[in-house]
Structure 1
Amino acid sequence: MKMSTGCLCIHGYTGSPVEVEPLVNFLEEQTDWELSAPTLPGHGEELDLKGHYYQEWIAAAELALLELKKKHDTIILIGFSMGGMISSYLAAKYKVDRLILLSAALKYISFPQMARDTVGILSDAWRGSLAENQLFIRYQTKVSQTHFLSSLEFMRCVEFTKPYLAQVECPTLIMQGELDGMVPSKAANFLESEIAAPKKEVVFLPQSKHLVCHDLDQEVLFNKVIEFLGDFVKQKT
């Protein structure tokens, strides 16, 4: 039987597959895998979070994983931010071959870095160049579209998935931007200590904020992912 690989990529809270799109596109170019990047309920470029619960977000990701498992014998999970925590839960519950966590939201809100980011936004506003500040562009609409109770669901999602880190046994790669204003960079070290897998690696990206797939260390991230997944990469000819 021909061996095949399915890769599930899960975006973050208030996000969409756009958050992981550069990595998905890179893997599509480099491999023959089936890549799945679903939009979690209430999420997307236009948010409709009111009335949605964290159980729905987990269930949607789980259904996407089960669809891949029907067709492929090798399964890779990639999760960004809240998606990293959901991916960890799924890696604990099901047999998967590799887990990659990008800016995983085990600890949320880095207040010192958020303060520095806010200063940067205000500085750009003062200079009249706010339209060029990518962090502001990305999150200005998200704040206005986010329902308060949905943020509680995000925190519940993190708290629900956290205990399952101790049950993750597959090789795990943890990648974290050192300039992340949403998730403290030390969260990567907490993840490493909590995850039970005997093979795990932490990589810090010195020039990256929260959206690591879109930031200045993008090429480093891509190369590290391919290196980590090398056993399963059969590059396209």
Structure 2
Amino acid sequence: MTIGCLFIHGFGGAPYELEPLYHKLKESTEWKLKVPILPGHDEGESLEEKEYREWVDKAEDDLKGLISECDKVYLIGYSMGGVIAAYLSTKYTVDKLILLSTSAHYLDPAQLAKDILKMAKEGLQGDLKENDLFQRYIRRMGAAPMSASLEFQKLVNDLRPFFHQVKVPALIIQGAEDGLLPPKSAQFIYDSIQSTEKTLHFLPQSKHMVCHGPEQSDLLHLVCEFLEVDQTLSS
């Protein structure tokens, strides 16, 4: 049986937001893994004049490709990517859905940059603060054009109702110390989706970037358990 997994990153971010989880599944499985870069998010690109449908369409195209190649498909979305993933799970036949730090309500990009920078200064990210990608992320989020921020807001507002249509098994994870998403955001998603198999898990010490947080190993374990990955195969 061929299994595919699509990762969808967040607004202003890039695939590295999900990198630890991607590498865990890559080393533990033989699945087809896709991590698209949403339009305007690649290095050297601008978010200026981008419309949110472009982000959704890119993820949708990659999902359709996986569905055509695989017997089972899983969706993993982070932050804004979680909103897109939930929406796509209502349009296509997917087998499992994972929502990480998902924005059920609009997030202010400038505040996101400040929160992540504060997290690094507090030492919760170890050497990530010195990572060039991390520094680029801070600059990019703080300089997000108003037009892109408005598109982000429109995306969340337009796609939020689709949480009520989600029926696939779902795992929802949020950092309990997330300064951007209050616990009610994850609770809203949990209460909204119609899945008979759904789990909500808060990581006590983690903030918004849960894949790079202090409970990274717990997150990887939760995801692998949900996706039924044999963790004894990983190095």
Q: TM-score range by the shorter chain?
A: 0.7 to 0.9
Alignment partners' CA distance in 1, 2:211 and 2:116: 21
For this pair of structures, how many residues does the alignment match?
226
User: 2:151 corresponds to which residue?
Assistant: 153
Q: Which residue of 1 aligns with 2:105?
A: 107
Residue pair 1:32, 1:236 contacting (<8 A) in 2 also: no
Contact 1:5 1:74 in 2 (8 A): yes
Give the TM-score normalised by structure 1.
Answer: 0.85
**Distance in 2 of aligned mates of 1:88 and 1:71:** 21
* Residue 219 of structure 1 pairs with residue 226 of structure 2: no
Aligned residues of 1:47 and 1:145 also touching (Cα < 8 A): no
Task: Provide the residue aligned with 1:178 in structure 2.
Answer: 176
Question: How far did 1:32 drift?
Answer: 1.0
Q: Give the C-alpha shift of residue 168 in structure 1.
A: 0.9
**1-side partners of 2:97 and 2:117: how far apart?**
35
The CA distance in 2 between the partners of 1:139 and 1:37, in whole Å, is: 17
Aligned to 2:32: 34
In 2 relative to 1, CA 68–234 (structure 1 residues): closer, same or farther, beyond 3 Å? farther
Secondary structure of the residue aligned to 1:209 is coil
Conservation of the 8 A alpha-carbon contact between 1:101 and 1:173: yes
Q: How does 1:172-211 map to 2 (within 5 A)?
A: 172-211=170-209
Q: In 2 relative to 1, CA 53–32 (structure 1 residues): closer, same or farther, beyond 3 Å?
A: same
CA deviations over 1:174-219 (Å, ceiling 9, x no partner): 0001111232232110000111111110000111111111110100
Match for residue 17 of structure 2?
A: 19
Separation in 2 of the partners of 1:206 and 1:79? 20
Shift of 1:161: 1.2
Query: What is aligned with 1:72?
Result: 70
Aligned residues with identical type, % of pairs: 43
Give me the whole-angstrom Cα distance separating, in 2, the residues matched to 1:140 and 1:75. Answer: 32
SS of residue in 2 equivalent to 1:20: helix
SS of the equivalent of 1:166 reads helix
Greater CA deviation, 158-167 or 58-67?
158-167
Flag structure 2 segments of 5+ consecutive residues without an equivalent: 123-127
Q: Which one-letter code corresponds to 2:102 in the other structure?
A: A
Q: Which has the larger radius of gyration?
A: 1
Secondary structure of the residue that 2:183 maps to in structure 1?
Answer: coil
The TM-score with structure 2 as length reference comes to: 0.86
| 2:17 aligned with 1:7 | no
The verdict on how the C-alpha distance between 1:103 and 1:28 changes in structure 2, with shifts beyond 3 A counting, is same
Matches within 5 A, 1:76-155: 76-109=74-107, 117=115, 120=118, 132=129, 137=135, 139-155=137-153
